[in-house]
Copies of this chain bind each other. A is one copy, B any other.
């Protein structure tokens, strides 16, 4: 059975959980005829992409879907584009804090996600979960992983649909803060709808 690689991140920024990994690890083992290979990545500009590349080389997935936390957003937000820029407000979990630096000085300025973003948004909404396409994955590790993945695939001539989906805070992260959240069940529903859409487009 062919695989879809789906990644989440470890916690960062003082949080004890990361909704991206919480949501990924409870997904079923197969969706739409594809086995899900789940990978928990470090919040590290350098290691996250290296571990993803290793998994892609070893497992030749049919598609790659990276998940990350975007605190403050109200909806699940598939990203449209990754840009060739690192700019960290807080150090990553390795203590690395790049300021306005390119990810690859020789890379193009940006890559569009090669996932069917609009179809994914519509499938999530149809499943009852607020969803919006996003035009910026920021300049932290999430964006670097998105750009890095698409750059790696382009440089190696690999035609694997790949992209990134940001998820909001979980309720337990904002019990006493005026910040929006979605439940773990909502994230699971949304990611399942996304993966079914991706699987259907692969076939």
Residues of A within 8 A of B (CB): 74-75, 80-81, 83-85, 100, 108-112, 118, 125, 128-132, 135-136, 138-139, 171-172, 174-183, 185-186
Contacts and interface: CB of A to CB of B under 8 A. Distances in A.
Contacts of A112: 83-85, 109
A188 to B, nearest CB: 12
Nearest to A137: B135
21 contacts: A74-B174, A74-B178, A74-B180, A74-B181, A75-B178, A80-B85, A81-B83, A81-B109, A81-B110, A83-B112, A83-B135, A85-B112, A108-B109, A109-B109, A129-B175, A130-B174, A132-B176, A132-B178, A135-B135, A135-B136, A183-B185
Copies per complex of this chain: 4
Contacts of A171: 128-130, 182, 186
Nearest to A177: B130
Contact of A83 (B110, B139, B176, B177): B110
Q: Which 9 A-B pairs have the closest CB atoms?
A: A110-B110, A180-B180, A135-B136, A125-B175, A136-B136, A109-B112, A74-B180, A109-B110, A130-B174
Contacts of A138: 135
Contacts of A118: 100
Summarize A's interface: helix, strand, loop or mixed.
Answer: loop
Contacts of A109: 81, 108-112
A10 B182 CA distance: 25
B175 A128 contact: yes
Contacts of A182: 171
A153 to B, nearest CB: 14
A30 B162 CA distance: 48
Q: Which of A81, A85, A186 has the most chain B CB atoms inside 10 A of its CB?
A: A81
A120 B112 CA distance: 27
A177 to B, nearest CB: 7
A136 B83 CA distance: 11
